[in-house]
Amino acid sequence: MNGQVQIVSQTIAKPSSPTPNHLRHLQLSSLDQIMVPIFVPWQVFYPNSPGISNAERCERLRKSLSDTLTLFYPLAGRVRQHSHIDCNDEGVPFVEAKAKSTIVEVLQSMHCNKFKELIPFQVQHDSDLCSFVQVTHFECGGIVIGVGLSHKIADAVSDVTFFNSWAAIARGERNNVLVPKFEAAKHFPPIDISDFDPCFEVVKDNRKIVSKRFVFDATSIKKLRDKYTENYCSPTGNMIKPPTRVEVLTAFICSRVMAATQLRADNSDTVYMVKHALDFRRRMDPPLSKQHIGNITFEPVVAETQIDTEDKYCYGVINQMRRTLTSADTDYVKKFQEGDEQLNLMKDRAERQRYKKVVSLSFTSFCWFPVYEIDFGWGKPEWIGSACWPYQNMFLFTDTKEKGGIEMNANLLEEDMANFEKDVELAAIFISQLSNPF
CA distances from 400 to 97, 366, 376 (A): 27, 11, 20
How would you label 155-192 residue by residue, b for 16+ Cβ within 10 Å and e otherwise? bbbbbbbbbbbbbbbbeeeeeebeebebbbbebbebbe
Type of residue numbered 271: V
Q: How far apart are CA 226 and CA 125, in angstroms?
A: 43
Phi-psi region of 314 (alpha: psi -120 to 50; beta: other; left: phi over 0): left
**151 is a catalytic site residue:** yes
| CA 153 – CA 297 distance, rounded (Å) | 11
CB 38 within 8 A of CB 123: yes
What 3-state class would DSSP assign to 404?
coil
Residue 393's region, left for phi above 0, alpha for psi from -120 to 50, else beta, is left
Query: What is the rounded CA–CA span in Å between residue 168 and residue 190?
Result: 33
CA atoms within 13 A of residue 339's CA, in its CB half-sphere? 7
Burial class of 437 by CB neighbour count within 10 A (0 to 12, 13 to 18, 19+):
middle
- Which amino acid, 62? R
Q: Of the residues 67, 128, 340, 375, which is catalytic?
A: 375
CB 380 within 8 A of CB 372: yes
Q: Which among 151, 187, 276, 292 is annotated as catalytic? A: 151
| N residues, the chain | 438
Residues assigned a catalytic role: 151, 375
